[in-house]
Amino acid sequence: MTKDAPAFDFYPILGVIRDSGSVQRNRELRRQRMAAARQLGTHTQAEWEALKAEFQDRCVCCGTDQRNVEKDHIIPIYQGGSDSITNIQPFCATCNCRKGSDSFDWAAYRRVHGF
């Protein structure tokens, strides 16, 4: 590679190549969005643990208890959602990846209707 050649990162899972500049810009944009979300509200680890326990460490979307749950923002950060516990629900990685921009509150639904 010559000195003037652009630097590229390869993401085999995504099957794409991105130049390092776009990767850095995306990281910075995500950092800015998360900082804005935290200005609207935050949560503690204890609140997150209590939320997971409320649903027995199950994904509130599909109901599985076979995978670790992760934080899903009901209103996505990129759409102006906060990082408050009231905007977070436990999702498995599969459901979280499928969700896209959907802002359905599965936690509220499960509180009323169960699994």
pLDDT one digit per residue (tens) for the chain, 115 residues? 445 544 544 555 555 555 667 888 888 988 898 898 889 899 999 999 999 999 999 999 999 998 899 999 999 988 999 999 999 999 999 999 999 889 999 999 999 999 9
Q: What is the pLDDT of residue 2?
A: 46
Task: For the beta carbon of residue 25, count every other beta carbon within 10 angstroms.
Answer: 12
CATH architecture of 21-113: Orthogonal Bundle (1.10)
3-state secondary structure 11-72: ECCCCEEEEHHHHHHHHHHHHHHHHHHHHHCCCCHHHHHHHHHHCCCCCCCCCCCCCCEEEE
Q: What is the pLDDT of residue 1?
A: 45
Q: What is the pLDDT of residue 13?
A: 53
- The answer to whether the beta carbons of residues 70 and 52 sit under 8 Å apart is no
DSSP string covering 72-87: EESS-GGGT---SGGG
Domain ranges across the chain: 21-113
